Amino acid sequence: MKKSLGAVAVAAAMALSLSACSGSSSSEESATGEISYWLWDANQLPAYQQCADDFAQANPDITVKITQRGWDDYWSTLTNGFVGGTAPDVFTNHLGRYGELAENKQLLAIDEAVEKDNIDLSAYNEGLADLWVGQDGKRYGLPKDWDTIGLFYNKAMLSSAGITEDQMKDLTWNPEDGGSYEKVIAHLTVDKNGKRGDEPGFDKNNVDVYGLGLNGGGDSSGQTEWSYLTNTTGWSHTDKNPWGTTYNYDDPKFQESMDWFAGLADKGYMPKLETTVGASMADTFAAGKSAINAHGSWMIGQYTGYKGIEVGIAPTPVGPEGERASMFNGLADSIWAGTEKKDAAIKWVEYLASADCQDVVASQAVVFPALKASSDKAAVAFQAKGVDVTAFTEHVKNKTTFLYPITDNTAKVKGIMEPAMDAVVSGKAPASSLTQANEQVNALFK
Amino acid sequence: MSTTARRAPLPAATRRRRPFNARRAGAWALLVLAIAVSVLPFLWVLRTALSTNNALASNATSLLPAEFTLGAFKRVFGLQSPAEAVAEGGSGAAIDFWLYLRNSIIFSSITTAGAVFFSAMAAYAFSRLRWKGRNAVFSLFLGTMLVPPIFTALPNFLLIKNLDLLNTMLGLVLPYVFMTPFAIFFLRQFFLNMSREVEEAAMLDGAKHLRIFFQIVLPNAAAPIATLALLTFIGQWNEYFWPLLVASQDDVRVLQVGLGVFKSQSPQGAPDWSGLMAATLISALPVLILFAAFGKKIVNSIGFSGIK
Amino acid sequence: MTTLAKHSRSASAASASPKPQGSHRRLGDLKIALLFIAPAMIGFVFFYVLPTVRGIYLSFTEYNILGDPEWVGMDNYVAIAADPLFWNSLAVTGQYVFLNILLQTALALGLALLMHNVAKSTIIRGTLLLPYLMSNVIAALLWFWMLDYQIGVVNQFIEWSGLPRVAFFGSEAWAIPTQALINTWRHMGYTALLIFAGLQAIPSHVYEVAKLDGASAFQTFRKITIPLLRPVLVLVLVVTVIGSFQVFDTVAVTTAGGPVNATRVIQYYIYQRAFTESDFGYGSAIAVILFLILALVAFIQMKFLKGNESDLD
């Protein structure tokens, strides 16, 4: 038995070394059978299970098997699935990843189907549908949800500092003196002796509560860390978006903003980067270590779920150009190019992108669905749970969003920018050091 | 053998009469310290496992459970509805605990039994038999310990794929079941230390190698083999990366992978600490039981393994 | 080779005593030896040699896992030689290995001696083995949380005792020692158990003779325990050194290479290049270099520590 097994292994290994790996391209197209679907957020599982059940009812010859896999393992498992031929037919896709997947021909273009089935792309919140058109002009996904950035604050700390919630709605910011945003942050900061950050005698080395929490250096995108500030100055990550080919970390305007940001830690208003490596920023906030946390809308459930703490949400501050800014990130459902059930997969993706499913998702009040009408329903559902989410939806209504930077080489850009940004935010290097990192980044596109 | 057994207690007995009480007290103090360092984190694990997850952060440094509940344990056994779990700030993901447990037991047992037995055979050949090229071949085997696991993960994955064994128990088990370089190395070191006299006496009696291996070497090395088996089992039990790659489907998913649902599920999120800690305790339980059952045996057999 | 020579020497020394026929028969054990190593050989060839050969091939290619590998000759190696992050990863890994070995071996040896001489209780042994029952990933996550600067329980204790809080993972000075401490915590009992097993295997009459000769405890330790323990100590050292070079799990789930590049150890750098940045050829080339380094280290260790010999002969 062992011998025959060995022989099989030899044969397989030889086959392997001869032809590296031939993706399973053959596919019998049919709209029946079981299709597999992956997502990472366990909180959304009940909603999508509901969608799958409804879908199966409407299409009796198709069933959907949902697998939920946490973010930490999601992408490595998925990549191995592509290589090993065990990838799901349909999966939740992220803007930071899909460029590379499309380039490597792992995604199925769905233009024909979208046209044939008359999917109304204008029904989605503005810009979301365009994100999923690759550099080759083909569509690789239909939008499922979006997120923006807001300021989560500790209500009790606010009131003991004498700051009203209305004040929080009208914060301004500029890179020179930080505007009223910095004033509020300073005032909310309290040292071990009870002195506030804007009072004389404040001990910046023994801070009890920081005005602003810190998640990390923010690497290439600064999604929740600094982009809601830097992008109010007219700066943007890349020359164009999507599919820019030049990054702008060398812009003095950007570097000025980053110097201000790093300065917060130096002033004692924000924890030093080195002290934030460990527990998550949300847990630290709930432990009463920070008064304001800038974070994404997908964290609403986490923040409002904590016991013993009252949380409010304010919009991000208005910048020097008179506008707020928030990164607009969207997810989509994509189809794996190697699927053997193309037609069924397309049907499922279209269903996921339809009002039928997105309304179900909306009703769970976990994330904002991509369809405008469903987004509004989600806001209502959040309201019913006692959470006011206008801070997030306002960005979309007022068109103060900018898109998550989509380019090639995103993983390599991140690999370069992560240590560079850490050095700046931790105060070990001035923001002007980013010019050199920027050269390295832009060299990737030559 | 019988002489060793009789001799063994002697030094302990003489030592007990030693007058150095201060030294002994110091030694005990060190031992207690080491035990404290080993055990205290587990008390923290237990305290967290008995807490309500969304109350943890606001009681970050309280030494007692934050809002005592058994909810986390219920979550691990899949006895809590997603709604209840979310209400406690836990992960709402579905898990099939008993299935994962069964898979883990099968996976760890087969690989441990196979690897230890086959490695013992190889170690015997590398230590007690004389043949041309022995040390060269052994060096090659030893060399595999130097290969970074990350380096072989992908090719091994492709091999299992080509054998069409993805998502099967066989595919999961294959890379481990024939040997582990550590096991061969470990047992060879012990076999080298074994007295040749007994073996040579047997040789004179005309015993064949298989008989020597089964009747003399294996019983004499019972202690190191038991130790190795236990350590291998623990290692296999905690294996994460390979099962994650090869056995992603529910019916072959092992416990460590299955319980990963308590880690952070979304970017920048926080883990379900209570669930994760409860899962840690429960998944360590089978190994603990194993140790409790065989630990004593290991100790005793070490005394009798009478080497010279 | 030298070890081989030594072995035949010790074998002939053994056979110089009563029965010479025994050793004659032993020199021709090839057939039976092949039978004994056959199963292990299958695993060796298919799950170690083949993937390694494949990995070496890939190190000469540009390969992003999803496409086909493309032969680029020595390009990856040339690029690595000029890659400051590679050299940084070597230095960082070196620091880690040094600290980890020092801490782990010293503590484990001490513990094993304590277990052997003071408390032969199974319960104590089991207790010390507890950390090893926790998987690497979970142990790292747990400490990541307990050692957090702001809300970690350990820092709370540090503050209560009047000392300043420590940024265990975040400060560049502490990041690597912290990783070493976590791994020492998890492996200490395990390593101690290995050494303990070795101690138990030392024949008691050797100690009795030493006692009769009036040797002090320290002399006994230096002249008897350490030499007789050598095979096991070598095993432990080789395994921990190699294991330390391959540190990955704890870094991956905690600092992910940071702060800046302070914990970007070689294995993590390989992972980052090969899997995160889909540059499998480059990652493979670093892995090949790591393999060569490890082979050299292991060779030196075996040579100097004479791990193949037992002093019992």
Which of A367-376, A422-431, C204-213 shows the lowest per-residue confidence on average (mean pLDDT)?
Answer: C204-213
Interface contact B60, partner A, CB < 8 A: yes
Same-domain check for residues B184 and B256: yes
Distance from CA of A124 to the nearest CA of B (A): 23
Instruction: Please report where in the chains the tokens 């836990």 appear, as a residue.
Output: B90
Q: Do A279 and C42 touch (CB under 8 A)?
A: no
Interface contact C114, partner B, CB < 8 A: yes
Distance CA B249, CA A57 (A): 24
Instruction: Please report where in the chains the tokens 């350990």 appear, as a residue.
Output: C154
Residues 66-105 of C with CB under 8 A from B: none
How many structural domains are present in chain B?
A: 2
3-state secondary structure of C63: coil
User: For all residues of chain A together, what is the average pLDDT?
Assistant: 90
DSSP code of C115? H
Distance from CA of C189 to the nearest CA of A (A): 26
Same-domain check for residues B140 and B44: no
Q: Where are the alpha helices (DSSP H) in chain C?
A: 2-16, 20-26, 30-44, 50-58, 75-81, 84-117, 122-133, 136-146, 153-160, 172-200, 204-212, 217-220, 226-245, 249-253, 266-271, 280-305
Taking a C-beta distance cutoff of 8 angstroms, is the pair A420, A434 a contact?
Answer: yes
Q: Do the domain assignments include residue B158?
A: yes
Distance CA B121, CA C295 (A): 25
- What are the chain A neighbours of B86 within 8 Å (beta carbons)? 43, 301, 305
Same-domain check for residues B64 and B125: no
Of residues A332, A336, A350, A363, the one with CA closest to residue A147: A332
* Domain range for B21: 14-94+263-285
What pTM did the predictor assign? Answer: 0.85
- What are the chain C neighbours of B107 within 8 Å (beta carbons)? none
Same-domain check for residues B129 and B34: no
Distance from CA of B212 to the nearest CA of C (A): 12
Each residue's pLDDT tens digit, A53-98:
999 999 999 999 998 888 878 888 888 888 888 899 999 999 888 8
Dihedral sign from CA coordinates of A303, A308, A313, A314: negative
Same-domain check for residues B199 and B219: yes
Each residue's pLDDT tens digit, B82-110:
778 878 887 777 788 899 999 999 999 99
User: Position B32: which residue type?
Assistant: V
Q: Do C208 and B10 touch (CB under 8 A)?
A: yes
Beta strands A142-147 and A149-154 are unpaired
Same-domain check for residues B101 and B195: yes
3-state secondary structure chain A: CHHHHHHHHHHHHHHHHHCCCCCCCCCCCCCCEEEEEEECCHHHHHHHHHHHHHHHHHCCCEEEEEEECCHHHHHHHHHHHHHHCCCCCEEEEEHHHHHHHHHCCCECCCHHHHHHCCCCHHHECCCCCHHHECCCCCECCEEEEEECEEEEEEHHHHHHCCCCHHHHHCCECCCCCCHHHHHHHHHHCEECCCCECCCCCCCCCCEEEEEECCCCCCCCCCCCCCHHHHCCCCCCCECCCCCCCCECCCCHHHHHHHHHHHHHHHHCCCCCHHHHCCCCHHHHHHCCCEEEEEEEHHHHHHHHHCCCCCEEEECCCECCCCCCCEEEEEEEEEEECCCCCHHHHHHHHHHHCCHHHHHHHHHHCCCEECEHHHHHHHHHHHHHCCCCCHHHHHHHHCCCEEECCCCCCHHHHHHHHHHHHHHHHCCCCCHHHHHHHHHHHHHCCC
- Average pLDDT estimate for A317-329: 95
Same-domain check for residues B148 and B235: yes
Q: Do C276 and A279 touch (CB under 8 A)?
A: no
Question: What pLDDT is stored for residue B43 in this prediction?
Answer: 92
Residue A353, both tokens: 């992108």
Instruction: From first to last of the 313 residues of chain C, give the pLDDT tens digit.
Output: 333 333 333 333 333 334 434 444 445 678 888 889 999 999 999 999 999 998 899 999 998 877 788 999 999 999 999 999 999 999 999 999 999 999 999 999 999 888 888 877 778 877 888 898 888 888 988 999 899 998 889 998 998 999 999 999 989 899 999 999 999 999 998 888 888 878 877 777 888 888 888 888 788 888 888 888 887 788 788 888 888 988 888 898 888 888 888 999 999 999 888 888 888 899 999 999 998 988 888 788 777 766 555 444 4
Of residues B188, B147, B146, the one with CA closest to residue C307: B188
Instruction: From first to last of the 308 residues of chain B, give the pLDDT tens digit.
Output: 333 334 444 444 444 455 557 878 888 888 899 999 999 999 999 999 999 988 888 887 788 898 888 888 988 888 888 778 878 887 777 788 899 999 999 999 999 999 999 999 999 999 888 888 888 999 888 888 888 887 888 788 888 988 989 889 999 999 999 999 889 988 887 888 777 776 777 666 666 778 888 888 888 888 788 888 988 998 899 888 889 888 877 789 999 888 878 887 777 788 888 998 999 899 888 888 887 777 666 654 444 333 32
Q: Do the domain assignments include residue B3?
A: no
Distance of CA B9 to the CA centre of its chain: 30
DSSP code of B217? I
Residues 167-196 of C with CB under 8 A from A: 167-172
Distance from CA of C277 to the nearest CA of A (A): 5
Each residue's pLDDT tens digit, A100-151:
888 888 999 999 999 999 999 999 998 899 889 998 999 999 999 999 999 9
Q: What percent of chain A has pLDDT over 70?
A: 93
Q: Do the domain assignments include residue B63?
A: yes
3-state secondary structure of C101: helix
Q: Do the domain assignments include residue B272?
A: yes
Q: How many CB pairs under 8 A join A and B?
A: 131
Q: Do A307 and B167 touch (CB under 8 A)?
A: no
Same-domain check for residues B167 and B229: yes
Question: What pLDDT is stored for residue A379 in this prediction?
Answer: 95
Residues 171-230 of A with CB under 8 A from B: 215, 224
Which chain C residue has its CA at the smallest distance from A417's CA?
A: C260
Identify from C53, C68, C138, C241 which residue to disrupt to test chain B contact, counting B C-beta atoms within 10 A and taking the largest count: C138
Same-domain check for residues B87 and B194: no
Residues 301-340 of A with CB under 8 A from B: 301-302, 305-309
Distance CA C111, CA C196 (A): 8
Same-domain check for residues B182 and B254: yes
Distance from CA of A368 to the nearest CA of B (A): 15
Q: Do the domain assignments include residue B208?
A: yes
Same-domain check for residues B116 and B248: yes
> What's phi and psi for C197, nearest 5 deg?
-60, -40
pLDDT at A260 over 80: yes
- What are the chain B neighbours of A71 within 8 Å (beta carbons)? 264-267, 269
Distance from CA of A15 to the nearest CA of B (A): 8
User: Position B153: which residue type?
Assistant: A
Q: Do C298 and B7 touch (CB under 8 A)?
A: no
Distance CA C108, CA C189 (A): 7
- What are the chain C neighbours of A287 within 8 Å (beta carbons)? 150-151
Exposure letters A421-438 (e unless 16+ CB within 10 A, then b): bbbbbbeebebebbeebb
Question: What pLDDT is stored for residue A378 in this prediction?
Answer: 95
Question: What pLDDT is stored for residue C307 in this prediction?
Answer: 52
Distance of CA A439 to the CA centre of its chain: 26
* C66, C148, C165: residue with CB nearest A279: C148
Q: How many CB pairs under 8 A join A and C?
A: 109
- What are the chain B neighbours of C216 within 8 Å (beta carbons)? none
Residues of A with CB under 8 A from a CB of C: 2, 5-6, 9, 13, 16-17, 20-21, 72, 76, 79, 82-83, 100-101, 104-106, 217, 271-279, 283-284, 287, 289, 411-412, 415, 418-419, 422-423, 426, 428
Q: Do C295 and B146 touch (CB under 8 A)?
A: yes
Question: What pLDDT is stored for residue C79 in this prediction?
Answer: 95
Q: Do the domain assignments include residue B291?
A: no
Domains of chain A, CATH where assigned: 29-147+329-395 (3.40.190.10), 149-328+404-443 (3.40.190.10)
- What are the chain B neighbours of A67 within 8 Å (beta carbons)? 248, 250
Distance from CA of B270 to the nearest CA of A (A): 6
Taking a C-beta distance cutoff of 8 angstroms, is the pair C86, C78 a contact?
Answer: no
Distance from CA of C172 to the nearest CA of B (A): 22
- The domain C84-305 belongs to what CATH superfamily? MetI-like (1.10.3720.10)
CATH number of the domain where residue B246 is located: 1.10.3720.10
Residue spans per domain, chain C: 84-305
Element at C265 (helix H, strand E): none
Same-domain check for residues B226 and B116: yes
Instruction: Please report where in the chains the tokens 């030493």 appear, as a residue.
Output: C210
Output the CA angle C103-B286-B272, nearest 5 degrees: 75
Distance of CA A430 to the CA centre of its chain: 27
Question: What pLDDT is stored for residue C108 in this prediction?
Answer: 92
Question: What pLDDT is stored for residue B204 in this prediction?
Answer: 66
Q: Do C51 and B155 touch (CB under 8 A)?
A: yes
Strand partners, A263: none
